Amino acid sequence: MAYTAQPVGFLADTVQRIRDFTDDPTDTPKWLTDRLYPLIRQSYGKVFRDIFGATDHYPLVRFSVAVVAGTATYALPSNIGRLLRFSRQETTTGYMTDFIVPRDHLHPLGPGVRLEGNVLRFEPTPTSTETLTLEYIPNGQCAIHLGTFTQAASGLSTTSMPIALGPSEGYAAGRPYEYLGQLYRLLGTSGSVPTGYLVFPVQERPITGWTPSTGNVTVGPALDFNPASFSGTYTYEVVPYFWDVMSQAIALDVVRQVHTFEDRSSKRDPTRVLYLEELKSLRDYFNSLQARTPRRWEFQTPENTGLYMV
C-alpha cells in the first residue's frame, strides 16, 4: 500500500505533525496554519536556546564589521545572540589574532566592546579604520518560509539565491541580514533534472550573506549545479539550523501549547512528557556530536601540538 505523499517543506511537515498529534477535528477551523506559524517560530527559538545554551556544539555565524575611526556604535544582524569572538584575521597565515574580549562595564579601561540589543558599542571609541570579524551564536529567531523563483531570477548563480517577496508559506524577513545563521534549501524544479542526476538533487546550504541591491542571499559552499542554466520554476525554503532533528520537539511543544490553550490537561501532561524526552535526546545528541574523546580530555588528542595544552 502506497503511503500518503509527504508534505513539501519544513513548515508543511511540522503543521501536519501538529494536526496528527492533536487528533481533534475541532482544531482545524480554529488553529489555522497562520495561527500555528508564530507558535512554530517561537517553539524553535525555545528549543534552540534550551539546547545550545548547554553544549559546545552550536551554530556559528560570522559577520564582518567595518570599523571606522571615531565611530563607537555599529548595527549588527537582528538575530545576534551570544558573542563568542571578535578579532582580526592575519592575511598571510589566516590566524585570528588580537581578540577583543568584553570586560566588566565598570572596568577602569572600559568594557572594550559590549552588545546593546543588536548594536555593538566600542568603549573606548576606535582610533583606527579596519575590518574585524565577529563570531556569534544566533538567538533562535528564524524567518521560516517556502517560496518559488524562476530560472530568470536576478543574480541567480551557484552561490546567490533569490528570496521571494511573497512566499507560498510563512513570511519573508524584512530586516537586513535576518537570514544569517539559517539554511537555504533548494527543493525541486518544474524543469529538467540537472545533468548527471536521476532525480532532483536537493541542495542545502548555510546562508552566509545578503545582497541589498537584489535582496538575494549568499550561500556557501556553492551548489552542485548552476540553477541559472536550467529553465523552469524552482521551489525553495529557508529553515533553521538542525531543522530535521528538532522538528519533533517543535511539533510537540506547539501541541502542548494548543492543549493548554484549550484546557485539555489530560492531553497536555502526556505531551509535555514526550516533549521533555525529546529535549533530553537532543541534548545528548549535540553534546556528543563532535566529541572524539571525553570532554575532560579534549586537548589531549594525537594531532594536538601542545600549543594550547592546559
Q: Where are the alpha helices (DSSP H) in the chain?
A: 10-22, 27-30, 33-52, 243-261, 265-287
> Which pLDDT value is given to residue 302?
44
The domain spans of the chain are 1-59+243-310, 61-138, 142-241
Distance between CA atoms of 115 and 76, rounded to whole angstroms? Answer: 9
User: 3-class SS at 159?
Assistant: coil
Distance between CA atoms of 130 and 70, rounded to whole angstroms? Answer: 12
Is the distance from CB of 249 to CB of 242 less than 8 angstroms?
no
Alpha carbon 68 to chain centroid, angstroms: 29
> Which pLDDT value is given to residue 306?
53
- Residue 9 corresponds to which cell in the numbers above? 517543506
Kindly report whether the peptide bond that precedes residue 270 is cis, defined as omega within 30 degrees of 0: no
User: 3-class SS at 110?
Assistant: coil
> Which pLDDT value is given to residue 292?
58
Is the distance from CB of 82 to CB of 114 less than 8 angstroms?
no
Buried (b) or exposed (e) across 244-283, using 16+ Cβ within 10 A? eebbbbbbbbbbbbbbeebeeeebbeebbebbeebbeebe
- Model pTM greater than 0.85? no
CA distances from 302 to 83, 213, 281, 297, 308 (A): 30, 48, 30, 11, 13
pLDDT tens digits, the chain, 310 residues: what are they?
667 777 888 999 999 899 888 876 655 567 888 889 999 999 998 998 888 877 777 888 888 889 999 999 999 888 888 888 888 877 777 777 777 777 777 777 777 788 888 888 888 888 888 888 888 888 888 889 999 999 888 889 999 999 988 899 998 888 888 898 899 999 999 888 888 889 999 999 999 998 888 889 999 899 999 999 888 899 999 998 888 889 999 999 999 999 998 888 889 999 999 999 999 898 888 887 765 554 544 555 444 555 544 4
Is the distance from CB of 141 to CB of 48 less than 8 angstroms?
no
User: 3-class SS at 80?
Assistant: strand
